[in-house]
Amino acid sequence: MTDIMNSAAVKHVMKQCAAGEDPNTVAANTITAAGEQPVRAAVVRAAQLARDAEAHARERQHGKGKHTARERLDLLLDTGSFEEIGRFRGGDINGGKAGSAVITGFGNVYGRKVAVYAQDFSVRGGTLGRAEGEKICHLMDKALELKVPIIAIVDSGGARIQEGVAALTQYGHIFQKTCQASGFVPQISLILGPCAGGAVYCPALTDLIIMTRENSNMFVTGPDVVKAATGETISMNDLGGGVVHATRSGVAHYLGEDEADAIDYARTVLAYLPSNCDAEPPIYAYAATRAERETARRLSTIVPDNDRQPYDVLDVIRCVVDYGEFVQVHELFAASAVVGFACIEGHPVGVVANQPNVRAGILDVDASEKVARFVRLCDAFNLPVITLVDTPGYKPGADQEHAGIIRRGAKVIYAYANAQVPMVTVVLRKAFGGAYIVMGSKAIGADMNFAWPSSQIAVLGATGAVNIIHRKDLIKAREAGKDVDALRAQLAADYEHTTVNANLSLEMGEIDAMIDPEQTREAIAESLRLLAGKQRVRRTGKHHGNQPL
């Protein structure tokens, strides 16, 4: 790390000063390693301020169970790779002020360049004023110029009240630049302290938000304001803590056990993403083994024949992807759908799947938004989308209709229909109604579609369809004293045999092939090799679509 504190000559001076010697005298008598000139007193003064500032930060942060901003950067970036920009910008060296409440610079994550800023709560509560805003905007401009990811480490009291509208204006500039960067370079926000008021929209505009169980908070209006406005008494954690946003609101994409876990997740996610939208994702070495064949054979035993019996789709995913490694996104939110990153033959992909273990894998308002957002992320950064389908359809009920299932469910359609990355879909068991169409069907734009032999594809499940199609027959049977349940079961069996199976989809070309479960990984890998040269096409001259929001 290029830093004034790392100079051998400065370190020598600081050691002598710590022993009680006069810094100006020591500086004048200390010759640099090159043997050319003494260390200037101003440099020593700056080094002293930097050392004292970090000592002050450790004292304030460690007592709260938190790392300092620089310690967080050490955890995030490859060792020795951080190059700081404007360390003393916004400070007053002669007045004893080391710098502003944010650290900005560039470093490496797994050898690839990233831009990063870390708010320093030990300096004026990490609040954002003009100097801090200008530093962040300057960093973002450089990141866009260099086409590298932007990582924000947030720990701030919000806008600096003393600077009034000047501080708020800086948030406006950051919002604008974050929107400019959206879909161009990956943006990740680590919330490792408070983030309140208008400041919450900085991370809200980024691709991924990572929070921790303790110390991490996000809310537009704090507990005091809530109490004054509504009379409700609520704690910071219950209002906007990491658990709330990871499980209920869906604001947080990952909940870290602590800061180290949260930062490690950020590093892991970056390993799957390219540096920018014009680059391809990184490629990793992969060698097939006998274990892979044994894992493939396990697939035929995971999914039960009974279409009402639940199973964990994660078991399927781990049998399909390289080494069984799958990094979930939004793991604790809308659990009836699963999304995340993995590799197929060393190439990063995005995986979307219904989760039969949770409400039978049904699509509701939250699951729809979860899937849609993730597909858009993959499409923005050139990750193929693998979709594993097993869903009975959209969740019925007045609560869903009133919550906007039409508007929010349409987001899944918009995401898949506009995606231009390679898309491969496998129907594992059942795909009914509108949910079949939106979950990566060929009709909506998927490139390759497969189905397992036992899969069921139809407008409705057999029982539901029979209740509608044969309603009058069932009424007549009841009036005639016949066994209605037996008749319903017989009609359902006939419907399954003639309509619900995947043969009709095969004959129409909506399914490209029927595959045995153990062929799933092979079929996906071959499809991705075939689609490796897929190019984006600009179909119209429009500025952009009007996505349902």
Q: Which residue, among 92, 100, 88, has the nearest Cα to 127 in the 3D structure?
A: 100
From the list 125, 183, 324, 434, the catalytic residue is 434
Q: How far apart are CA 46 and CA 87, in angstroms?
A: 10
> Residue 334: CB partners within 8 Å, gap ≥ 6?
250, 364, 366, 367, 369, 370
Q: Which residue, among 189, 195, 241, 193, has the nearest Cα to 210 in the 3D structure?
A: 189
Is 397 an active-site residue?
A: no
Give strand pairing partners of 153.
Answer: 118, 190
Q: How far apart are CA 101 and CA 86, in angstroms?
A: 12
C-alpha torsion sign, points 185, 186, 192, 195:
positive
Is 435 an active-site residue?
A: yes
Q: How far apart are CA 361 and CA 313, in angstroms?
A: 9
Q: How far apart are CA 273 and CA 142, in angstroms?
A: 19
Q: Which residue, among 468, 466, 458, 457, has the nearest Cα to 486 in the 3D structure?
A: 466
Joined tokens for residue 52: 């004292």
Is 129 an active-site residue?
A: no
CB neighbour class for 12 (10 Å; exposed up to 12, middle 13-18, buried from 19) = middle
Dihedral Cα 39, 44, 45, 51, nearest 10 deg: 160
From the list 90, 197, 240, 241, the catalytic residue is 197
Q: How far apart are CA 525 and CA 126, in angstroms?
A: 48
Q: How far apart are CA 345 and CA 523, in angstroms?
A: 12
> Residue 8: CB partners within 8 Å, gap ≥ 6?
32, 33
From the list 125, 198, 324, 464, the catalytic residue is 198
Count Cα neighbours of 317 within 13 Å in the Cβ-side half-sphere.
Answer: 28
392 CA to centre of own chain: 27
Joined tokens for residue 13: 């001076």
Q: Are 366 and 250 in contact (CB under 8 A)?
A: yes
> Residue 219: CB partners within 8 Å, gap ≥ 6?
196, 200, 236, 239, 240
Please give the C-alpha separations between residue 274 and each of 114, 270, 493, in angstroms, as whole numbers.
Answer: 11, 8, 49
Place of tokens 């409400």: 359
Residues 499-506: contacts with CB under 8 Å, at least 24 apart? 499/458, 499/465, 500/456, 500/457, 500/458, 500/461, 500/462, 500/465, 501/455, 501/456, 501/457, 502/427, 502/451, 502/453, 502/455, 502/456, 502/457, 504/457, 505/451, 505/457, 506/451
Other CB atoms within a 10 A radius of the CB of residue 287 amount to 8
Joined tokens for residue 144: 């866009």
From the list 115, 360, 435, 451, the catalytic residue is 435
Is 105 an active-site residue?
A: no
The catalytic residues are 197-198, 434-435
